[in-house]
Structure formats: C-alpha cells, structure tokens
Amino acid sequence: GHIVRNWKVRWFVLLQDKLLYYKIEGGKKEPSPKGRIFLDGCTITCPCLEYENRPLLIKLTTKTNTDYFLECCSREERDSWALDITGAIHAGHPVQVQELHRMKKSFKLLENISLHHIVERMCDSSAGIKLTRNLEQGNRYKETFTGSALVDWLISNSFAVSRFEAVTLASMLMEENFIKPVGARSIEATRYSDLSEQFLDDSTALYMFAESSKKNTSSKEELQFNISELSGTIVKQGFLVKQGHKRKNWKVRRFVLRADPAFLHYYDPTKEENRPVGGFSLRGCLVSALEDNGVPAGVKGNVQGNLFKIITKNDIHYYIQASSKAERAQWIEAIKPLT
C-alpha cells in the first residue's frame, strides 16, 4: 500500500499498456479496478531484494518515480510475471521482446567472469548477500544463506540473466570451494556427480562461505604452453562442463577453439589471469556425440545428456557436456574440420 505500508491480496490483470489490480471480496474480484499502473516508461527490478524477509518481490518504478512492490506466491510465478510485464513494457519494440526471451533461455555466462570478484561482492557488508541463522532438523547454523537467496542475489547483481545461469555460477562457486553446503538438504544433493544437480535453487537448502574463500587459494604448478599454439585464429569459444582426469568430477571451463594451428584449450573461470589450465592439439583427434540414454562408459556420475567425447592421437579421452543438443552439434561441427 502507498498510504498504509501494509500488504494486501489483489487480483492483477496485465494489459498491453497497464497493470490493473482489483480488490477481492468473498473470493471474487470486484468489477472495477482498485488501481492501475501505467507501464509506459516503467522499469522493472526482479528479483527485488529490498525486503530481506520477502524474497518473491517484483519492483515496478513508473516514469514519475512511483515504486510499486508486488509479492508473488512462488519464484516460478514471480519470474513468469516479470517476463510478461517486461514484454508489455517493450510491446512497441518486438525485437527487444525477442531478445529478452532468447536471453532467458540461453546458456551464456559472461566471458570475463571472475569467481573471486563475485565472492568479494557477496562479502560486501552493504550490498552483499545477507547472512542469517537458520534452523534445520533441530540444528542451528550461523551465517548461512539459502540456495534460492544466492540465485536471486546473482541475478539482481547482473552476474546472471536466468536462474539456470545463476545455478551454474553457484555450482562453480561450490565446486571451487568458495561456498559449501551445510545441513542435510544441501549435503545430500552433493552426492550427485552431475554439476547441474549439486547446487539447489531451493529456500530450504543451506550454504555458507567456505574457509578457503577467505584465503588465497594455494597455487598449483602452472602448465607451460608454447606461444605458437595460442597464436591461432579463434574459431569458437564458450562455457562447457568437463570431466576431470584425476578426480573425475565435473567443472565448468571456458573452451577456446583455435585454427592454424588447430588446438582446443580450456580455462578456469575462477582465475584472474588469462592462461589455459589445459589443452591439446586436434590433429588426429576423433570427436563424437555420446548417447543420451544412460551413463556412457568412461563417464563417472549420474551425468546424462548433451555429452560428447574427444579422443586425442595419444589415446587420451576427454568427456565434455554442452548445455543443449544444438550447442553440442555446433561444437562437434566446429572441431571436426580441424582434426
């Protein structure tokens, strides 16, 4: 409410240029709207984190700088309303609407992403993620945050566009030991080896900062790469999930495909320096898609779908997961001519 700052249930109707809201009496909406929000010139904030105990808010700011706070019943409903309202705001610009839907469905993380930078922002006393005490099955945990709260924070701080991207980022933070699960709900999820299932976008799953996130990570022996193999023309690059050779766990890596000479390098997104952590020549390699039914031989963990394999001429096997069948096909088509 604008005069009395209380919260009331209203029935909303979204039109092309405005959002109407009605009072509910006896389980039915009244015939005339109680109010209207004109969408021309509006800006939308979703998720809106201004109210710590209300994580399901949408904030609408009109061109006259009037703020409306709308609370939904679930995150799915909130995101659906936000997408449709944004579409109505840009109704006169169909290209912007198409771009919005494409971004929401795409898997495209920032290429210059730094997990160190994200953690620094998360720890900021004013704009960082809110740490609270949480109770789970009789156990009390200090300075924790929920999985869904982290996803909301990543989106609101423009580190991710969609919840899918935010979950991928959160999984990277957990995989690199910046955050850790606490409590039975989130720890149980880590038993899955599939990266996409380890972090839970859930208000009952608890996480906290790992001790290692407050310290400098121990430096590993840097791999040496010939300057010539990094001088080729970049043909394709993007984020993929790769199975490790030793621990057989799955980590997000930024892959860069080069031609003349033909090499595939992969980078650790958590590192500030732009140096590959691995790579190999594509000459004599074999690349192929793996079946989506069941777990293929050589793959550890419950990882299914959109997998492909590269076998080097030295018989080293690389197992890689794309975000979709289309992306997998694009990578295979780009690699094959260079082998």
Which CATH number goes with the domain that contains 211?
1.10.10.10
Q: Are residues 96 and 138 in the same domain?
A: no
Cβ(173)–Cβ(115) under 8 Å? yes
Q: Is residue 4 part of a domain?
A: no
Q: Are residues 80 and 146 in the same domain?
A: no
Average pLDDT, the chain: 80
| Among 238, 303, 279, residue whose Cα is nearest residue 107 | 238
Q: Are residues 54 and 147 in the same domain?
A: no
41-70 pLDDT tens trace: 888 888 787 776 777 889 999 988 899 999
**Residue 299 scores a pLDDT above 90:** no
Q: Is residue 159 part of a domain?
A: yes
Distance from C-alpha of 28 to C-alpha of 22, rounded to nearest angstrom? 10
In this prediction, residue 285 carries a pLDDT of: 94
Q: Are residues 181 and 249 in the same domain?
A: no
Q: Is residue 148 part of a domain?
A: yes
Distance from C-alpha of 183 to C-alpha of 326, rounded to nearest angstrom? 37
Report the interhelical angle of 115-122 vs 163-175 (nearest 10°): 100
Q: Is residue 275 part of a domain?
A: yes
Q: Are residues 192 and 257 in the same domain?
A: no
Q: Is residue 222 part of a domain?
A: no
Distance from C-alpha of 135 to C-alpha of 261, rounded to nearest angstrom? 56
Q: Are residues 73 and 170 in the same domain?
A: no
Whole-number percent of the chain with pLDDT over 70: 80
280-285 long-range Cβ contacts below 8 angstroms, 24+ apart = 280/312, 280/316, 280/318, 281/229, 281/312, 281/313, 282/335, 282/338, 282/339, 283/313, 283/339, 284/312, 284/313, 284/339, 285/310, 285/311, 285/312, 285/313, 285/335, 285/339
Residues ≥6 apart with Cβ < 8 Å to 80:
none
Q: Are residues 50 and 14 in the same domain?
A: yes
Q: Are residues 251 and 324 in the same domain?
A: yes
Q: 168: domain range?
A: 115-216
What is the number of domains present in the chain? 3
pTM: 0.44
- Domain end residue (candidates: 69, 104, 139): 104
159-188 pLDDT tens trace: 888 787 888 888 878 877 788 888 888 888
Mean pLDDT over 194-202 rounds to 71
CATH code, 61: 2.30.29.30
Q: Is residue 254 part of a domain?
A: yes
Cβ(221)–Cβ(315) under 8 Å? no
In this prediction, residue 294 carries a pLDDT of: 62
Q: Are residues 231 and 332 in the same domain?
A: yes
Q: Are residues 74 and 131 in the same domain?
A: no
**Residue 287 scores a pLDDT above 90:** yes
- Domain end residue (candidates: 50, 85, 104): 104
Q: Is residue 199 part of a domain?
A: yes
- Domain end residue (candidates: 104, 133, 165): 104
Q: Is residue 291 part of a domain?
A: yes
In this prediction, residue 332 carries a pLDDT of: 95
| Among 298, 297, 257, 303, residue whose Cα is nearest residue 280 | 257
Q: Are residues 199 and 241 in the same domain?
A: no
